[in-house]
Structure 1
Amino acid sequence: MDQELKRVQGAKVLDGRMYLSTDIGTKSVYSLDLATAHVEELFRLPIFEGDIRFETEGLAPRELADGGLEMHVERVIDPQAVEGEFDAYTRLYRYVLTDEPAPVPVPATLPLVLSGLAAFGLALRRS
């Protein structure tokens, strides 16, 4: 591998890549190309502030019909963070990764706003 990964908590192979969830400081999910051994950080999971223990666990990748990748990542969260006690729950995160950047949606109100600005501009010209 061209990058060392520590605290790997889960790994799955899909179409020549290994996907790895880590429990390092960034709580990142990585992709490892099995042919070239190139490691790439795909995304980071949210980090909780305060006195909360949480640990990244397993993951489940799935290829989508449009060529994208859907990734589910499991975490164990202990909100009390009291030594010796374990009052935890799991949280499942879902990410969809694509090769193309997602288009920015245009709000449906944009034409209305533009027509209002045009009317305001005409009103200013007349006065």
Structure 2
Amino acid sequence: MRKMYALGTGMTALAAVAATAFAAHADKKEPVVRPAAHGRTAALPSGYQLVTLPNANVPNFQRRTLYCPGSKHVLGGGGEARGNGAILVGSFPTDDARGWIVLGRQIGYSDVGISVFAICAD
């Protein structure tokens, strides 16, 4: 079962763009910019970039951290826990607002698949 969770900072238009990009490009490494659902391009912050950390198996409750490139800061982010009985336990920004942290667990196993997504801007 595949579960997707995304958290943001209250920027509705940006969240709509990011949700579309997460679903369509979760396995790609290049930044993605998508138009808003209403057909017009949403006003995006300067240097907007969607960054992903592809799925990898890690021990239960181990944090995976994704940092924004260069001097960019994170506006929001999310994560995905993959596997039978996988649960996303935490999804939150780093203390310095430069990246996103995700952790999870998988019931009955010692590891879990975790993907991380971050919305970055200048």
- TM interval, shorter chain, is 0.3 to 0.5
- The TM-score with structure 1 as length reference comes to 0.32
TM-score (norm 2): 0.33
CA radius of gyration, larger in:
1
